[in-house]
Structure 1
């Protein structure tokens, strides 16, 4: 009887450990390996057909030194020169509402991708108030912290689940009943 309790407690511990793995492990398992020596983003990530998106590179850490190309099926291929960190692109008018398009950033032989969602409705094209097509070293607000992609709530919940399952396993393995003879 004691072996059943120990085995079930061990199984509970292994299950909690398996279910609390970070999202990064799941992404690598699916093949979504977007780890690059440079950061990149598309702002906004949801836009209506005909809208203008900003394509940003993080060149501060030296991961992307040369010119970068950004390509997608929803706008023309854009080249970001080596002395700039962002560019703009206009989404095609015939982009399908609700569709998610892949946007690929390539620099120095390394590529990474993110997604761009097309919202329903259309926007009126507005002229660019910036006379220069590539802003020079814009603000890097909202890019995340040093642990990009990790959610502290998920990590805390995972740690609590693991601690709880280890505690339960210890409790059930040390608990004695009248059936054991002591």
Structure 2
């Protein structure tokens, strides 16, 4: 089974040399500020998206389901909206609620996604950080959200806990 999971993970973009998460300061939609480093010690999925992105909208229901499955195992997920205006993101979220937090990446969001491997500047873009804060997986474009729990599972120690194997 672990060989199968490794094959899926390797096929989807797990890198051999993880990159450390930057000390980005990412605003939320209410003016607060967050850092990925605050979640160090936990597996974190960062999903870059925008309200105008058709593929982002199409995968929205699956994002909520993936968030539920991952959070049950102790992982975290955050969306980083790359819209130009916070009000646009708020309006989108009023129509399409989410269970995971959404931060506002206007300004630096594209740069952050590029630092994680999104050199095409395409959306959606997803990165997975291990408990040590290293980016160990990234994918440009739509992701099969049914497969994400299998990607994250090897990074978690056991159900309901955080850490690495």
Looking at secondary structure, tell me which structure has more helix per residue: 2
Instruction: Select the structure of larger CA radius of gyration.
Output: 1
TM-score in terms of structure 1 length: 0.23
Higher strand share: 1
